[in-house]
A = this chain, B = another copy of it.
Amino acid sequence: MADAPVWSDHVQAVLARAGLKRGGARQRVIELLAREPCALSAVEIEDALRAEGKPTGRASIYRVLDLLVDHGLVERVAVGPGQARFERMHPSGEHHHHLVCDQCGRLVAFDDPALEQAIGDLSERLGVRVEHHDVVLRGACERCE
């Protein structure tokens, strides 16, 4: 996970540039996400922080996540109904998508240039400005097949 510190620094830089003060809750959520390569739910974040002896208010967690999403630092992944997930987003635009296994619920990350290409082309074809795209596949993962 050699890139985690880079992301962390980038986050600090963006937030500082935005004129925001620092704070404990925000710091804790950022550190946790920096450590985690794939999507966490808000509840998992709350539990993880409590488990490592850093209990953090739910309102703060959602506030921080919203802030990070607004600044393009974190992506909100709608992996299914009922619970949003969050994962760090690289400034380079580098990202991946997910397959959710219907059997075991496991998340499998993947990326695919052809898919990105097709989505990129759509913007023009539809005459709209596409800011963001969510792609979630459902099926059976390697292990469950």
Q: Which residues of A contact B (CB under 8 A)?
A: 76, 78, 80-81, 84, 99, 102, 108, 110, 112, 114-115, 117-119, 121-123, 125-142, 145
Chain B nearest CB from A34 CB (Å) reads 23
Q: Is the CB of B108 within 8 A of A126?
A: yes
> Taking chain A's interface residues, is the majority helix, strand, or loop, or is none over half, making it mixed?
mixed
In the assembled complex, which residues on chain B have CB atoms less than 8 Å from the CB atom of A136?
78, 133-134
Chain B nearest CB from A111 CB (Å) reads 10
Docked complex Cα distance between A19 and B5 (Å)? 58
Chain B nearest CB from A135 CB (Å) reads 5
Q: Quick one: which of B122, B130, B139 contacts A115, CB cutoff 8 A?
A: B122
